[in-house]
Amino acid sequence: MDTLPQLVIRPEFENTDIKDAHTGNIAVELSIVEKIWNINGIRKAVILLGLVITWQIYTVALDVEPLMFPSFLFSLERLLVDLFTGDLIFKIWFSVKVLLIGYSAGMAIAAVLVLWATASRLGSDFIATATAMFNPLPAIAMLPLAMLWFGLGTASLVFVLIHSVLWAVALNTHSGFKNVTETLKMIGENYGLRGVPFVCKVLVPAAFPSILSGMKVGWAFAWRTLIGAELVFGASSGSGGLGWYIFESSQNIETEGVFAGLFMVILIGIVVENVVFRNVELRTVNRWGMQR
User: Applying CB under 8 A, which residues contact other proteins?
Assistant: 40, 43-44, 47-48, 51, 67-69, 121, 125-126, 128-129, 132-145, 148-149, 217, 220-221, 223-225, 227-228, 231-232, 243, 246-247, 249-250, 253, 255, 258, 261-262, 265-266, 268-270, 272-274
CB of 134 or CB of 198, closer to other proteins: 134
CB of 46 to other proteins, least distance (A): 9
CB of 144 to other proteins, least distance (A): 4
**Amino acid letter, 208:** F
CB of 11 or CB of 41, closer to other proteins: 41
CB of 43 to other proteins, least distance (A): 5
Tell me the three-class secondary structure of the chain, residue by residue: CCCCCCCCCCCCCCCCCHHHHCCCCCCCCCCHHHHHHCCHHHHHHHHHHHHHHHHHHHHHHCCCCCCCCCCHHHHHHHHHHHHHCCCHHHHHHHHHHHHHHHHHHHHHHHHHHHHHHHHCHHHHHHHHHHHHHHCCCCHHHHHHHHHHHHCCCHHHHHHHHHHHHHHHHHHHHHHHHHCCCHHHHHHHHHCCCCHHHHHHHHHHHHCHHHHHHHHHHHHHHHHHHHHHHHHHHHHHHCCCCHHHHHHHHHHCCCHHHHHHHHHHHHHHHHHHHHHHHHHHHHHHHHCCCCCC
CB of 192 to other proteins, least distance (A): 21
CB of 248 to other proteins, least distance (A): 10
CB of 108 or CB of 266, closer to other proteins: 266
CB of 291 to other proteins, least distance (A): 13
CB of 51 or CB of 60, closer to other proteins: 51
CB of 155 or CB of 193, closer to other proteins: 155
CB of 196 or CB of 286, closer to other proteins: 286
